[in-house]
Amino acid sequence: MDSEGLDLVFQPKFNCARGTVCGVEVLARWPGASAPWQRPDCFIRLAEREGLAPELDLHVLKKALRQLARLPAQTRRALKTVSINVSAVSAQDARFLQSVKGLLSSRPHPKLMFELTETAPIHQLSVVRKGFEALSHYGIDLSLDDFLCGHATLNLLTALPVREIKIDKRDVARLGTPAGYGRVAGLIDLARQGEISVTAEGVETREQWQALRALGCDSAQGFWLSRPLPLAEVVTLIGQLH
Ligand code: G
Ligand code: G
Ligand code: G
Ligand code: NA
Ligand code: MN
Instruction: Tell me what pLDDT residue 21 has.
Output: 95
Question: Which of 98, 134, 130, 128 lies closest to 116, judged by CA?
Answer: 128
Q: Is 93 close to ligand 2, i.e. is its CB under 6 Å away?
A: no
Flag residues of the chain having pLDDT under 70. Answer: 1-4, 151-152
Domain boundaries, the chain: 3-169+225-236
Q: For residues 219 and 87, what is the distance between their CA atoms, to the nearest angstrom?
A: 22
Q: What is the pLDDT of residue 152?
A: 67
Give CA–CA dist 69/83, Å, rounded: 15
What ipTM is given for this predicted complex?
Answer: 0.82
Burial of 93 (0-12, 13-18, 19+ CB in 10 A): buried
Q: Which ligand 3 atom lies nearest to the CA of residue 225?
A: 12
| Architecture field, domain 3-169+225-236 | Alpha-Beta Barrel (3.20)
DSSP state of 110: -
Give the number of the ligand closest to the Cα of residue 221.
2
Q: What is the pTM of this model?
A: 0.91
Any ligand 3 atom below 6 A from CB of 17: no
Q: How far is CA 132 from CA 63, 96, 128, 135, in A?
A: 21, 12, 6, 5
What's the pLDDT score for residue 155?
86
Going from the Cα of 99 to the center of ligand 3, the distance in angstroms, rounded, reads 39
In whole angstroms, what is the distance from residue 206 CA to residue 227 CA?
15
Cβ-contact 161, 132 below 8 angstroms: yes
pLDDT value at position 2?
47
The string of pLDDT tens digits covering residues 153-198 is 788 898 999 999 999 999 999 999 999 999 999 999 999 999 999 9
